[in-house]
Amino acid sequence: MTVNLRHHHQLEPLEKQFPDLVETASIRTLGYIQSYGILLALQEPQLSICQLSCNADEVLGHDPQNLLNRNLEVLCGRSQTAKLRAVLAYGDLNAVNPLPFTLAVRGRDVTFVGRVHRTDGIVVLELEPAAVPETVTFIEVHRLIKSAVDHIRRTTNLSELGAATTTAIRTLTGLERVMFYRFSEQGHGMVIAEDRQHYLEPMLGLNFPALDIPPTVRELFLQIDSRVIADTQAPAAELVPRLNPVTHKPLDLSHATLRGVSACHLEYLHNMGVGASMVIPLLKAGQLWGMIACHHSTPKHISYEIRAACELIGRVVSADLIAKDSSDDYEYQLEVNAAQTQLIAALALGDDVVTALTAHEAPLLDLVQAGGAALLIDDHCTSVGAVPAEATIRALVDWLHRHHGDEKVVYTDSLSQLSADYQADKAVASGMLALSLSETRSQYIFWFRPEVIQAVRWAGDPQAAIQKDSQGRIVLSPRQSFALWQESVRFSSLPWKACEVEAALALRQAILQLNLRRADKLAALNQALQASEVRERQKTEQLRQTLAELQATHTQLMQTHTQLVQSEKMSSLGQLVAGVAHEINNPVNFIYGNLIHAENYVRDLMRMLEVYAEQYPEPTDAVQDEVTAIELDFLLDDLPKLLGSMKLGTSRIREIVQSLRSFSRLDESEVKPVDLHEGLDSTLLILGNRLKDKSERAGIEVVKNYGDLPLVECYAGPLNQVFMNLLANAIDAVEESLEGRSRTDIKTNPGQITLTTRVDNQRQLACIAIADNGTGISEAARDRLFDPFFTTKPVGKGTGMGLAISFQIIVEKHGGHLRCESQPGAGTTFHIEIPLQTKSG
């Protein structure tokens, strides 16, 4: 076991450093929320509203008193409430957040982003207005996240990691200042990277005292992904009633995104000139390592989509901390390892530990970068370099034996914290690392470091936040100033690094092996080396696992966002097509209906002209001249044909509109009986322009071998998306095969796509085959065809997600099969098999 005396005496967790610390209010149960959203506390199973924020009238147009004890259906309607009940059946509610809600607010539909969680048996539903679609696009967010993650992965050390992270977060959010904090062992936060607007004063390199983030806040940061304060000037929205009527205590808002802000923290932000803020905690090995702190001088609401993107970046950075944090000391660790190897080799060649370690002083001092070392073994004291008096060393041994006799390593960078008497030795022994060589006798190796006067730059006086009440207890108070405050730290050495402590422990292990097995020294030393190699392999494996986790996170991030982009594109296409079809349908029906009347009117006029010609066979000269001028005989013959052609054209437009309306069901999420032939035909109609004959290439023939398919219960919209992906790929393949061929050759062997459908009655499957006589696919490509991001197309002409999404729709969503048969130069056939009845969900 190792003990850092400085940490042990001065730098323990804040609640132990300040046992009399009093926090004026529990941040978990403040009883109010931020007013940019609304919070509803629901009692199960009825989902009755037992508590809500008082801004319901402002946000939803409902008096909060009128909503209390009423079912959620009064706000959300039966359908949305039913969906929420289904969501609440999931074990992990984080996996289903966020939830879209559309509520009627003062006569118009308003979209909200919902988050749901449970606390003390109460369902907490938070609603905040959704971002305007024009301001947040999945494509732009995906591009920014991909760029940020790629940049983060390319960084080689902590400084580069912090710079890449702050730049990415500020680009995503538009906030004026983004800082990358690292917490010291004392709990103070130091800004090690910053991205800011040019007109702001820099905070890079400044330290913030530990009490700026009290213990309860640090504990909460271990449980949440981000903390956003949208407007430090906005009034809070209190919960009504104050106590939850079910639990009879204040509602726990620990996991509420809208959780209110304590008065102390608000004053702190006001004094700092902050109008809005966001914090993303950074964790390393499950502990709070630091945070990404963002400030804006004016109120600023960050949409859920952007917050989620920033949280993802925070998780990627947290996963990368182990590798980057240790990489800064990599070169130094190699030097320590070299000194360790020299010492162990010296021990292996000699029987006397003291002689082996002190024959050459450099390796012993270089092992931990000390100014001096002393060995107290068998009551003899031997030293190298600059050390305090022997009496001081013996006094240290007595003190260690009394207070830390069971510890293997005890170290501090400030001996004067133990006793002011040690200040006299500051020039040689401000820092000490003591290594115990025996559990029964006082045998130690000491390393000493001299004083290094350090100038620490604080953002304001670090003692300003510590005030005491009438009972002498420490009460947190927001600091009034954040002006640069520089402090000189005396009687302290450079801190001891973890790799140095590990090196001392490795040396101890080697010495103990030598003492226990002196007769077989070489074997003992080999074991120590093997133990060291095992640790190195474990570290290497840990780094490899960390890299694998980062790669998996990156791949999952890219796949998720690409799927979102693809779904967004197809949904937008469906909405556009449906809108166009609707707008065209009404005027076409109007024209078609009027053509019928026009045809009747023309028929009547023609009949009247025939009667007129019979009654007046000898027209006047004027009439005869007009008959000749307008070519009456030709007009009477051609007019019915013209009307017939117009009727045929409007009928064709009506067919096209019907196909467009059929294809526009992309966003339908319910299972329903569907005519698959209609879906195929609608898709072919959409792609018709790519199939027809063009000046640069001949047209592509489509052969339909439709069987007798019944209506198939399936998801119509996603299935149309599969048809679109496969048919578009088939057209690409055929177009590529037609390049460079003459029209005469193409006429003999045209480009062709064949659609075949049938029913497999034995397996109760609907079978669809989409075949083309295009370029075909190699065996190597076929093996990866359905992998996300794999594409055979040139850069910029495909995301590699079309077939992966199609596979997911057919196999996972419908429980069917999707396979490919192809040979290079022999075309490709995709076989789709889906059950005649797909189970919903």
CATH code, 447: 3.30.450.270
Rounded to 5 degrees, what are φ and ψ at 433?
-125, 120
DSSP 503: H
Closest CA to 531 of 505, 565, 558: 505
Residue 481 has a pLDDT of 46
Range from 108-112, 250-254, 587-591 carrying the lowest mean pLDDT = 587-591
| Averaged pLDDT for residues 32-42 | 95
Rounded to 5 degrees, what are φ and ψ at 51?
-165, 145
Instruction: Reply yes or no on whether the pLDDT at 796 is more than 50.
Output: no
Please report which confidence band the pLDDT of residue 349 belongs to, taking 50, 70 and 90 as the band edges: confident
Residue 10 has a pLDDT of 35
Please report which confidence band the pLDDT of residue 694 belongs to, taking 50, 70 and 90 as the band edges: confident
Rounded to 5 degrees, what are φ and ψ at 48?
-85, 145
Domain boundary at 100, 129, 158, which?
Answer: 129
Model pLDDT for residues 52-72, shown as the tens digit of each residue? 999 999 999 899 999 999 999
Residues 403 and 431 in one domain: yes
Classify residue 449: in a domain, yes or no: yes
Model pLDDT for residues 270-286, shown as the tens digit of each residue? 888 899 999 999 998 88
Classify residue 72: in a domain, yes or no: yes
Closest CA to 169 of 258, 268, 282: 282
Tally of domains within the chain: 5
Between 354 and 128, residue with greater pLDDT: 128
Between 473 and 256, residue with greater pLDDT: 256
Distance (Å, whole) CA 651 – CA 648: 5
Residues 66 and 121 in one domain: yes
Classify residue 290: in a domain, yes or no: yes
Residue 9 has a pLDDT of 36
Residues 593 and 556 in one domain: yes
Report the DSSP beta bridge partners of residue 374.
Answer: 383, 446
Tokens at residue 448, please?
A: 């000493």
CATH code of 107's domain:
3.30.450.20
Residue 14 has a pLDDT of 44
Residues 147 and 289 in one domain: yes
Closest CA to 698 of 730, 744, 666: 744
| Averaged pLDDT for residues 285-295 | 91
| Averaged pLDDT for residues 647-657 | 66
Asked if 833 and 760 count as a contact pair (C-beta separation under 8 A), the reply is yes
| Averaged pLDDT for residues 441-470 | 66
DSSP string computed for 561-581:
HHHHHHHHHHHHHHHHHHHHH
Classify residue 23: in a domain, yes or no: no
Q: Which amino acid is at 423?
A: Q
Asked if 34 and 234 count as a contact pair (C-beta separation under 8 A), the reply is yes
| Averaged pLDDT for residues 463-474 | 55
Residue 16 has a pLDDT of 46
Distance (Å, whole) CA 602 – CA 404: 114
Check whether the bond before 363 is cis (ω within 30° of 0). no
First to last CA, the chain: 54
Residues 359 and 500 in one domain: yes
Contacts of 771 (CB under 8 A, 6+ apart): 730, 753, 754, 755, 756, 827, 828, 829, 830
Residue 22 has a pLDDT of 43
Between 331 and 240, residue with greater pLDDT: 240
DSSP 376: E
Distance (Å, whole) CA 770 – CA 572: 26
Distance (Å, whole) CA 560 – CA 553: 10
The pLDDT mean for the chain works out to: 80
User: Helices 138-154 and 158-173 meet at what angle, rounded to 10?
Assistant: 170
Residues 283 and 417 in one domain: no
Residue 800 has a pLDDT of 58
| Strand intervals (E) in 386-441 | 409-412, 431-436
Classify residue 532: in a domain, yes or no: no
Residues 123 and 176 in one domain: no
Q: How far is CA 826 from the centre of its chain?
A: 43
Residue 588 has a pLDDT of 67
Asked if 52 and 240 count as a contact pair (C-beta separation under 8 A), the reply is yes
Distance (Å, whole) CA 405 – CA 443: 11
| Averaged pLDDT for residues 288-296 | 93
Check whether the bond before 45 is cis (ω within 30° of 0). yes
Q: Which helix (H) or strand (E) holds 601?
A: helix 521-615
Domain boundary at 649, 667, 685, which?
Answer: 667
Asked if 36 and 112 count as a contact pair (C-beta separation under 8 A), the reply is no
Asked if 43 and 122 count as a contact pair (C-beta separation under 8 A), the reply is yes
Instruction: Reply yes or no on whether the pLDDT at 15 is more than 80.
Output: no
Instruction: Reply yes or no on whether the pLDDT at 746 is more than 90.
Output: no
Distance (Å, whole) CA 770 – CA 755: 5
113 CB-contact burial (10 Å; exposed 0-12 / middle 13-18 / buried 19+): buried
CATH code of 828's domain:
3.30.565.10
Residue 793 has a pLDDT of 62
Residue 32 has a pLDDT of 95
Model pLDDT for residues 371-390, shown as the tens digit of each residue? 888 888 888 888 888 888 88
Residues 679 and 661 in one domain: no
Instruction: Reply yes or no on whether the pLDDT at 20 is more than 50.
Output: no
Classify residue 293: in a domain, yes or no: yes
Please report which confidence band the pLDDT of residue 666 belongs to, taking 50, 70 and 90 as the band edges: very low
Residues 708 and 643 in one domain: no
Residue 102 has a pLDDT of 92
Distances from the Cα of 674 to the Cα of 665, 754, 810, angstroms: 11, 21, 15
Instruction: Reply yes or no on whether the pLDDT at 467 is more than 60.
Output: no
Q: Which amino acid is at 747?
A: K
Instruction: Reply yes or no on whether the pLDDT at 645 is more than 60.
Output: yes
Residue 539 has a pLDDT of 75
| Averaged pLDDT for residues 396-409 | 83
Residue 587 has a pLDDT of 73
Helix, strand, or coil (residue 277): strand
User: Mean pLDDT highest for which of 121-130, 441-450, 508-517, 718-727?
Assistant: 121-130
Instruction: Reply yes or no on whether the pLDDT at 86 is more than 70.
Output: yes
Residue with tokens 């006397």: 352
Model pLDDT for residues 817-828, shown as the tens digit of each residue? 999 898 888 889
Distance (Å, whole) CA 100 – CA 676: 30
Closest CA to 674 of 719, 707, 708, 704: 719
Between 634 and 313, residue with greater pLDDT: 313
Closest CA to 175 of 357, 31, 310, 14: 310
Classify residue 420: in a domain, yes or no: yes
Classify residue 479: in a domain, yes or no: no
**Helix boundaries (H) for 404-520:** 426-429, 498-516
Instruction: Reply yes or no on whether the pLDDT at 448 is more than 80.
Output: yes
Tokens at residue 290, please?
A: 């630091």
645 CB-contact burial (10 Å; exposed 0-12 / middle 13-18 / buried 19+): exposed
Residue 485 has a pLDDT of 47
| Averaged pLDDT for residues 807-812 | 87
CATH code of 200's domain:
3.30.450.40
Between 813 and 798, residue with greater pLDDT: 813
410 CB-contact burial (10 Å; exposed 0-12 / middle 13-18 / buried 19+): buried
Asked if 221 and 291 count as a contact pair (C-beta separation under 8 A), the reply is yes
Tokens at residue 604, please?
A: 């009547």
Please report which confidence band the pLDDT of residue 404 belongs to, taking 50, 70 and 90 as the band edges: confident
Instruction: Reply yes or no on whether the pLDDT at 194 is more than 70.
Output: yes
Between 542 and 137, residue with greater pLDDT: 542
| Averaged pLDDT for residues 672-690 | 86
Domain that holds residue 103: 32-129
Instruction: Reply yes or no on whether the pLDDT at 127 is more than 80.
Output: yes
Residues 443 and 503 in one domain: yes
Please report which confidence band the pLDDT of residue 787 belongs to, taking 50, 70 and 90 as the band edges: confident
| Averaged pLDDT for residues 176-185 | 89
Instruction: Reply yes or no on whether the pLDDT at 705 is more than 90.
Output: yes
Residues 720 and 832 in one domain: yes
| Averaged pLDDT for residues 455-469 | 54
Distance (Å, whole) CA 686 – CA 763: 32
Could you tell me whether strands 2-4 and 409-412 are parallel, antiparallel, or unpaired per DSSP bridges? parallel
Residue 423 has a pLDDT of 76
Residue 67 has a pLDDT of 93
Instruction: Reply yes or no on whether the pLDDT at 125 is more than 80.
Output: yes
User: Mean pLDDT highest for which of 162-166, 398-402, 733-737?
Assistant: 162-166
Closest CA to 330 of 544, 539, 548: 539
Residue 24 has a pLDDT of 45
Residue 358 has a pLDDT of 82
Residue 11 has a pLDDT of 34
Residue 529 has a pLDDT of 67
Asked if 445 and 373 count as a contact pair (C-beta separation under 8 A), the reply is yes
Please report which confidence band the pLDDT of residue 472 belongs to, taking 50, 70 and 90 as the band edges: low
Instruction: Reply yes or no on whether the pLDDT at 217 is more than 60.
Output: yes
Asked if 236 and 33 count as a contact pair (C-beta separation under 8 A), the reply is yes
Residues 380 and 508 in one domain: yes
Could you tell me whether strands 189-196 and 207-208 are parallel, antiparallel, or unpaired per DSSP bridges? antiparallel
Distance (Å, whole) CA 13 – CA 144: 37
Could you tell me whether strands 701-705 and 752-760 are parallel, antiparallel, or unpaired per DSSP bridges? parallel
DSSP string computed for 43-109:
ETTTTEEEEEETTHHHHHS--HHHHTTSBTHHHHHHHHHHHHHHHHTSS-GGGT--EEEEEEETTEE
Domain boundary at 107, 129, 151, which?
Answer: 129
